[in-house]
Structure 1
Amino acid sequence: MQLDKVDLNLLRYLDSLLREQNVTHAANQLGITQPAMSNGLRRLRDLFHDPLLVRTSDGMMPTALAIQLQPRVSLILQSVDEVLHLGQSFDASSSSRVFRIMASDYAEATLIPPLMARLQKEAPNVILDVMNPSDVSFHDVEKGKVDLIINRFETLPQSFHQKSVWVDRFACIAHKDSELALNPSLDAYLKAQHVWVSKTGFGVGVGIQPDEVQKLGWVDSTLADMGLKRSIRLFTRNYNVAMRATEQLGLVATLPLLATRLLADSSETVVLPTPFEIPPVELKMLWSPLLQHDPGHMWIRQTISACAQIIADSN
């Protein structure tokens, strides 16, 4: 097989087909017709003397050769993309690009407002589309349909690029007249009624089981390691709800310190150090290798990092 006799566009077709494993979806991703993609698959089969994708009861499945080809083709296209972007620049001041960012409630509440304020000055026409974790999947990010995910993670796909946004420590918010505010001790903390707030990962969540403390996150796992348990009266995935519950219901919220700024205007609550040591939480941003060398994407990552640094330094 001679290179000058091969249509290199077929590699783009192959990459999309192997990721989507669906002719129609692959065609839509590349902006071509379904017949054109079907013709491309036929030419690929002739080129490699292999069916590449075989229809089964579970849909189109890759052959053994296709599985071997996928990482190699992806690497080739990434290298070509890098070469094509050399010397290109991104003019943020005139761009009207839409950046789709999946952010946890914690990330959205703490990072997005100051980021947007910065963009209004430096890139007034740039648009942010901020989505919830349940809106997208790792597969969407891998395909470049979502620009960035900003969240806390326990496990990550190895293929993704990642960067730390900041490391935050935990704090307590309590009503100013509560026993915990008057006597910030572990005993007072355990006697208090608490609000739990968290939402990480992807996909539609399931209901909380209060007795499964090891699945409730850093705070409750740490207490469980100490042989202790707090009394949780309210479970929520929204930081604003959790903090208003401390202000209006007298519940205690234990959450990352940067998030407590959302109640900075409250005269009814106080922010206290936790009466026991909780491991810090790291916020990360992840993105697809398909977007690694895109000039606009590089700009938004740099802008987020610069904005995050200012927020973290002021903590």
Structure 2
Amino acid sequence: MDLQRVDLNLLVHLDVLLREKNVTRASEQLGITQPAMSNILRRLRKLFNDPLLIRSSEGMTPTERALELQPRVRELLADLTQLLEPRTEFRPYTSSRVFRIMTSDYAEATLVPRLVKALRSEAPNVILDFLTPSDVSYRDMEQGRVDLAINRFNEVPQSFHQVLIWRDTFSCLLSADSPYVNRFNLKNYLKAQHVWVSKTGMGVGFGVNPEKSGGLGSIDAALQRLGQKRQISVFTRHYQMPAMLTANKDLIATLPTRVARMQANNDDIVIKEPPFFIPEFELTMAWSPLLQHHPAHRWLRQLIQHVSRQIIAEERIKYPLQTAIQDGSLHTQPIDLVEIDPDRQ
């Protein structure tokens, strides 16, 4: 194909069309008329010899070829943007940039405090604006309105870059005066009442069905595989457990191990390994290809990775694997930072 005869602006239009999956919305976003957008779609179909978007009962559905093109077009446009931008060095100590980061409650409890401390030292005027998952859409990230997302992801758009921050397992917290402390087995675990920490704090009154394994996450899914279920009496979105557990001797909270260690900071609270297998989970950092090469964004990602490495190194000293095996109360083995597609193909 002769590139001199190809209008590269068509790639910008294709990117918006595949993102919106709607000619009207795409035309509004690009500031052109709907007939003009329809004409551009016809040109794109001719260029790629493919329908790209097909009408269906649910609107416009991308073809297999369109799905194949979408991440590649996004990457190409990001590279072109980077190529045309003036190269500037990021100076963190004098910068007053605002970074908008979507974080889960888990990330805010375990990673963010140390990140803020490091930031105050290296970039005292930089501002971090933390957003909840409900505040952010993938479109916000794709368009660079949100810098990063740090969360447990089931999946992210194919074009996104990802880095694994760490893996974590689960531990149980209970009062030191709990009747189950000295006989912490599956039978007593099922006999006890439980606290469930959700993203929203909403429980059965808001449509959460404890009978559905998918409704309550990996803990209850693991129990269902054993043909069991726990009795949940408290739904909350917060990890602050000690006062609740101390006041209610029969309650058990099953939490990510890093959070559980932070909560078990006095003699009134005991941390135990779950009496059944719960799969570990991953905390991942994800971002749009638009920001992959931005100097300030790259600096922030490197700082987050540095902080996570520090936390992992300290865990190796404070919670060595040998101690975990001996007393059976601490069971997470920290891992090295692992990169997932650090410079996506």
Alignment TM class, shorter chain as reference:
0.7 to 0.9
In structure 1, the partner of 2:248 is 249
Aligned in 2, Cα 1:236/1:25: closer, same or farther, shift over 3 Å? Answer: farther
Q: Equivalent residue of 1:239, what SS? A: coil
Aligned in 2, Cα 1:131/1:293: closer, same or farther, shift over 3 Å? Answer: same
Taking the aligned partners of 2:106 and 2:243, their CA distance within structure 1 comes to 15
Taking the aligned partners of 1:229 and 1:245, their CA distance within structure 2 comes to 22
Would you say how many aligned residue pairs link Structure 1 and Structure 2? 302
Aligned in 2, Cα 1:123/1:170: closer, same or farther, shift over 3 Å? Answer: same
Task: Tell whether 2:103 aligns with 1:100.
Answer: no
Aligned in 2, Cα 1:6/1:243: closer, same or farther, shift over 3 Å? Answer: farther
Q: CA deviation at 1:130?
A: 0.9
Q: CA deviation at 1:188?
A: 2.4
Q: CA deviation at 1:86?
A: 8.9
Task: Tell whether 2:25 aligns with 1:26.
Answer: no
Q: CA deviation at 1:41?
A: 5.9
Name the aligned partner's letter for residue 148 of structure 1.
Answer: L
Matches within 5 A, 1:9-20: 12=12, 15-16=15-16, 19-20=19-20
Cα-Cα RMSD: 3.8
Conserved? CA contact 2:242–2:264, under 8 Å: no
In structure 1, the partner of 2:165 is 165
Q: CA deviation at 1:131?
A: 1.1
Indicate the larger mover: 126-135 or 16-25: 16-25
Taking the aligned partners of 2:52 and 2:145, their CA distance within structure 1 comes to 23
Task: Tell whether 2:313 aligns with 1:313.
Answer: yes
In structure 1, the partner of 2:124 is 124
In structure 2, the partner of 1:30 is none
In structure 1, the partner of 2:144 is 144
Q: Equivalent residue of 1:227, what SS? A: coil
Taking the aligned partners of 2:243 and 2:226, their CA distance within structure 1 comes to 29
Deviations 1:223-270 (A, max 9, x none): 221222221111222222x55432333311111111124424444211
Taking the aligned partners of 1:158 and 1:69, their CA distance within structure 2 comes to 11
Structure 1 portions without partners, runs of 5+: 28-33, 201-205
Aligned in 2, Cα 1:39/1:307: closer, same or farther, shift over 3 Å? Answer: farther
Task: Tell whether 2:300 aligns with 1:300.
Answer: yes
Matches within 5 A, 1:1-150: 12=12, 15-16=15-16, 19-20=19-20, 22=25, 26=29, 34=31, 73-84=73-84, 88-150=88-150
Conserved? CA contact 1:195–1:236, under 8 Å: yes
In structure 2, the partner of 1:229 is 229
Aligned in 2, Cα 1:314/1:184: closer, same or farther, shift over 3 Å? Answer: farther
Name the aligned partner's letter for residue 165 of structure 1.
Answer: I
Deviations 1:8-53 (A, max 9, x none): 67755664465355367635xxxxxx47x99996996898798x99
Conserved? CA contact 2:18–2:62, under 8 Å: no
In structure 2, the partner of 1:193 is 193
Q: Equivalent residue of 1:181, what SS? A: coil
Conserved? CA contact 1:186–1:275, under 8 Å: yes
Q: CA deviation at 1:168?
A: 1.0
TM-score, length of structure 2 as denominator length: 0.72
Q: CA deviation at 1:72?
A: 5.7
**What percentage of residue pairs aligned between the two structures are identical?**
45
Taking the aligned partners of 1:72 and 1:299, their CA distance within structure 2 comes to 25
Structure 2 portions without partners, runs of 5+: 201-205, 316-345
Conserved? CA contact 1:193–1:252, under 8 Å: yes
In structure 1, the partner of 2:259 is 259
Aligned in 2, Cα 1:112/1:207: closer, same or farther, shift over 3 Å? Answer: farther
Q: Equivalent residue of 2:278, what SS? A: coil
Conserved? CA contact 1:243–1:253, under 8 Å: no
Task: Tell whether 2:222 aligns with 1:219.
Answer: no
